[in-house]
Every structure is written in C-alpha cells, then in structure tokens.
Amino acid sequence: MNFETDEAKKRRPSLIKLPSARALLVQAIAFALTCALDRLLLQPLWGGAEIHKLMFVQGGIAALLSYAAGLERWWWPIQFFFPVAIVVMQKVNLPSGVYLFAFLVCLAVYWTTFQTRVPFFPTRPSTWNAVLPLLPEGRGLRFIDLGSGFGGLVLHVAKCRPDCSVMGIEIAPLPWIVSAIRAVFCRADARFIRGDYSALDLSKFDVVFAYLSPAAMPSLWEKARAEMRPGSLFLSYEFLVPGHEPTIVSLPDANRASLYGWSM
C-alpha cells in the first residue's frame, strides 16, 4: 500500500527561517556584542571581566535577542546556558570521545528537530490506555501514530486490538530502529516506517494520533482536514488545534495534559 501523497517532497524552508539557524545567528551576534562591551566599556573601567562572567553576559544577550527574533520560549534558556555550558565543559576537561558519543546519540534521537520544531515527547502508558476506548469497534481499523518515538503506543494498540492495522512513523533513526526491534521481539503485528509524516496520505487511516508540538499543529490540522475521510478520528495529546474546539476531551492523568479528539 502506498502511503505517500503526490506532494511528498515539499519545498524546504530557506536557511534563515530555520529556528536553529536563527539561534546560531543570535549567538554570533551576542558573542560580538559581548566582546565589544568588554573591550569598549569593561576593560577601560575595570580591566575587563573574567571569562565565566562574560559567558553569563553573552547568555543574557542571546536570550533577549532570541525573544526579539521570535524564537519559541524553550529556546530562551537554551540560548542563555549555551555559552555557560561551553565554559563548564572546558573546565571539566572530559575526553573528546565523550562529547562525540553524546552528540551522536542526541543526533539519532532528535533528528531534524531543528527543522520540524517537534522535540521528542514520549507518551505515557496512561495515554495509551486513554486512546483505546476512543478507537471505533470493527475489524480492519487502520491506526497510525505520527512521530511514534520508541513505539510504545503503537505496540500497545497492536496488543490490545489485534483486529486493527497499526502503524507508526518516526523520522529520527534511533527511535525508529528501537521500535522496529521491539515489534520483532514482542511479536506484535505492527509496522514502523521511517520518514516525515507530511509525506503520508492520511486518507488511508481511520484514526490518526499525534503528540508533536504547538508549532506543528496548524499545518498538521490543514493536512488532516484536506486528506482524512469523513467519519475518521484525529487525536492529539496535550496540544490543541488553534481556533478549533475538540469534540472529545479526555484526561489520562490528574494534573497532566489532556487527550483531544476531532471527528472529521
């Protein structure tokens, strides 16, 4: 079965529109401003500042510029602590292989987060159990988890609803590999594919589940409205669709996020 749309390969945004590119530019500007501040003001007055103090200055400038540049809130603390973390790592003086290993692991898990603006958000077992009662009865139900991570929800649905056709799609290589291996060892009738959910044809599915990010919801909703068939169900954990009231609201855990649903 072909799950790709005719417009699977969409035009990539320009480099400057990528949040990661803007964050890097902000750090470069903050570094230049910090150097200028130290040279023109701090050195004439007090003979300059120590490096660890300047890193806090650069972090503060970077956080303010991130706000001005329209970066999401979660970028602000990252921008503030980034130069501080560099100084700390230099003081610790760990072997370079440790940093390379950590970088490769992060790259494998948070693959293309810089472009999709969808961080890794694992779902909890309570959310899996909240999804099950919302699935329509009947054999042949087709269910997909967009951004399936390590495959917990997909494997749970496959176990509890063996009459369903269950699939997960994940763009990050490490979670995808782990989920595929788990499916083999669990002997679950579930399929995991690696790719971008924007390349899928959502009309092939009866229930579409997503746990992504606020930044992804408007475009995903437009895709769901355009492709999902009447009578199908769109589920989103924690994140609402701006301007569209859900027809289903479920609270898997007290004092935690809700599970929302829209009948298409």
Torsion of CA 252, 202, 246, 159, to 10 degrees: -20
Residues 200 and 130 in one domain: yes
Question: Domain residues for 29?
Answer: 15-93
Higher pLDDT, 64 or 139: 64
- Position 22 scores a pLDDT of 76
- Position 157 scores a pLDDT of 95
Across 64-73, 109-118, 121-130, 197-206, the highest mean pLDDT is recorded for 197-206
- Position 36 scores a pLDDT of 86
Residues 75 and 140 in one domain: no
Residues 158 and 205 in one domain: yes
Take residue 235 and report the two structure tokens written for it: 């589920």
pLDDT band at 196 (very low <50, low <70, confident <90, very high): confident
Spell out the residues 6+ positions from residue 204 whose beta carbon is closer than 8 angstroms to its own: 1, 3, 142
In a domain, 98, yes or no: no
**Which of 82-86, 95-99, 157-161, 253-257 is least confident?**
95-99
The helix/strand/coil state of 247 is coil
- Decide which of 42, 70, 93 is a domain's last residue: 93
Spell out the residues 6+ positions from residue 263 whose beta carbon is closer than 8 angstroms to its own: 231, 232, 233, 247, 248
- Position 252 scores a pLDDT of 85
**Which of 66-80, 93-107, 189-203 is least confident?**
93-107
- Position 120 scores a pLDDT of 58
Residues 142 and 86 in one domain: no
